[in-house]
Amino acid sequence: MAKLTRLELHGFKSVDGEGQSIDIGAVTVLLGANGAGKSNLVSFLRMVNYMTSGGLQNYVADQGFADSLLYFGSKTTTTISARLQFEDEAAKDEYAFTLRRDATNRLYFQDETVTYHATGRQNPQVRQLGGGSKESQLSDCAKVGDKTCGVVLSLLSACKVFQFHDTSATAKIRTEGYTDDARYLRSDGGNLAAFLRGLKNRSGGEKYYERIIRHISQMVPQFGDFDLQTLPENDKYVRLNWREKGSEHLFGPHQLSDGSLRFMALAALFLQPPDTRPKVIIVDEPELGLHPSAIAALAGMVKTAAVQTQVILATQSPRLVDEFSADQVVIVERDTAKPRSVFRRIEPAKLSDWLDHYCLSELWEKNVLGGQP
C-alpha cells in the first residue's frame, strides 16, 4: 500500500498562508514546546479523516466554526489549502483541496483534485472534483467506479488520529461498552474492552492479544490478565475488568491508574494485528502520565508497528525523543519574525559533532535544535 510521503498545508490555525511542507517517514516525531503548533497539525489530520466520511461540517462546528480554523481568522486568511502525497513503487497519488469560509462561518470546497501518476508515465491523470460543495466529493466519485478516487479515499481513510488523555471516572474507557463495537479501536480508546475481547476471540487474534498482555504486565507488574466476560446483568456489554497475577479477585477499570490505563490503550493500538491497524497512526502527546520505563516501552511498540504502519507522534517529552534517531524528528516552533508555526526536519549531518557528545533531548534543551519557547 502507498505511504504518505509529504504534506503541504496553508492557512490552517497557526500555519499561515505561505504554508509549510513536511516530509513524512515511517516514524515522524513532532517535537516542540507548548503552543508551537504540533497539536494544530494533528487537528488538521483529524479534519481530513472527518472529510472522508462526510463529516467536515461536524468538525467545523465542533471547533467553533471557520474563523477558529483560518489563520488569524477570516479577516486575515480567506482559505485553507492542502496537498497530501502518497507513493509506492507503482505510482504517486495526490489529494489537494481548498476550503473557503462562507457567510454562515462554515467552510465549503472551493476546489478538490485527485491525481494519479503511474511510475514511468510522462503525464499524470488529474481528476477535478469541482467546487461549491459542503462535503468532499471523493466518496461519491469512488462510488461511480473511479479507481483513482477510490484509492485516494482508501489512503486518507486509513490515517487515524488517537488521543487517550481522558481517563476520568466518567470516561468511556472506564465504563461498560457494547460488545459488538470491536471492529477497530476508537480514537479515545473508549471501546478498549470490546476491542480486546473481539481480538482474543477472533481466529488468529489470540497471539496478538497475548503479546499485548505481556507488554502490559512488564509495565504494570501486578497485572495478570483482563477478564472480558460479558456483564451478568446484560450480556451485550463488557467492562475492562482485570485480575492480579496469582489471584482470583476481580478488579474493575476504576482501580487502574491513569497512566496504566493509557499504556493499555497504547499497547492495544500499536500491537494489534496489521490487518486491523490503521496505515497511518497519529498520536498527540502519547507520553502523558507514563513512567519513564513505560515511555521506553512505548517507543519500542512504535518501532514494531512502524515496520508496516507509519506513525506520527506529537510530543514535548525529552525522554521519548531520545528513543528515536535525529532524522525521524521534526522541530516545531514559532517563527521569530512573524506569528506562525514552522516545521523543520533535523539534518543529522549538520549536527554530527554535537551528536557525538550529546543526546537529542540535551540538544533540544540547550536550544541547539530550536523548538524551545
User: What span, in angstroms and rounded, lies between the C-alpha atoms of 290 and 201?
Assistant: 29
Query: pLDDT tens digits, residue range 203-252?
Result: 999 999 999 999 999 999 999 999 999 999 999 999 999 999 999 999 99
Instruction: Please write the tens of the pLDDT for every residue from 157-197.
Output: 999 999 999 999 999 999 999 999 999 999 999 999 999 99
Helix pair angle (206-219, 258-271), 10° resolution? 150
| CA distances from residue 168 to 164, 191, 255, 258 in whole angstroms, order as listed | 11, 15, 12, 8
d(CA 130, CA 140): 12
- Say what angle helices 292-305 and 206-219 make with each other, to 10 degrees: 160
Tell me the pLDDT band of 348, cut-offs 50, 70 and 90.
confident
Q: Give residue 367's pLDDT band: very low, low, confident or very high (50, 70, 90).
A: confident
The pLDDT mean for the chain works out to 95
Q: Calculate the CA 272 to chain-centre distance.
A: 15
Task: Report the alpha-carbon distance of residue 228 to residue 239 in Å, rounded.
Answer: 7
Give the per-residue pLDDT at 154: 93
Residue range 271-320, pLDDT digits in tens? 999 999 999 999 999 999 999 999 999 999 999 999 999 999 999 999 99
- How much of the chain exceeds pLDDT 90, in percent? 90
Phi-psi region of 144 (alpha: psi -120 to 50; beta: other; left: phi over 0): alpha
pLDDT category at 4 given cuts 50, 70, 90 is very high
SS3 236: strand
Q: What is the pLDDT of residue 278?
A: 96
User: What's the pLDDT score for residue 347?
Assistant: 86
State mean pLDDT over 96-104: 96
Q: Which H or E run includes 106?
A: none
d(CA 208, CA 148): 34
Beta carbons within 8 Å of 96's beta carbon, 6+ residues apart: 81, 82, 83, 84, 111, 112, 113, 114, 115
Sheet holding 91-101, edge to edge: 20-23, 3-10, 79-87, 91-101, 107-118, 125-128
Query: How many CA atoms within 13 Å lie on the side-chain side of 104?
Result: 7
| Local confidence band at 122 (pLDDT 50, 70, 90 cut-offs) | confident
Contact of 109 with 39, CB cutoff 8 Å = no
Tally: H helices and E strands in the chain: 11, 18
pLDDT of 221: 92
pLDDT of residue 115: 95
User: DSSP class of residue 276?
Assistant: T
| Predicted pLDDT of residue 366 | 87
Q: How confident is the model at residue 336 (pLDDT cuts 50, 70, 90)?
A: confident
- Residue 372: which pLDDT band, with cuts at 50, 70 and 90? confident
Residues 6+ apart with CB under 8 A from 273: 199, 204, 205, 208
Task: Report the alpha-carbon distance of residue 142 to residue 156 in Å, rounded.
Answer: 13
Is the pLDDT reported for residue 323 higher than 90? yes
Predicted confidence (pLDDT) at residue 80 exceeds the cutoff of 80? yes
Element (H, E) at 43: helix 38-52
Q: What is the pLDDT of residue 355?
A: 87
Query: Which residues in the chain belong to E strands, given as ranges?
Result: 3-10, 20-23, 27-31, 79-87, 91-101, 107-118, 125-128, 159-162, 177-178, 223-227, 230-231, 234-238, 241-244, 250-251, 280-284, 310-315, 329-334, 341-345
Q: Tell me how far apart the terminal alpha carbons of the chain are, to the nearest angstrom.
A: 39
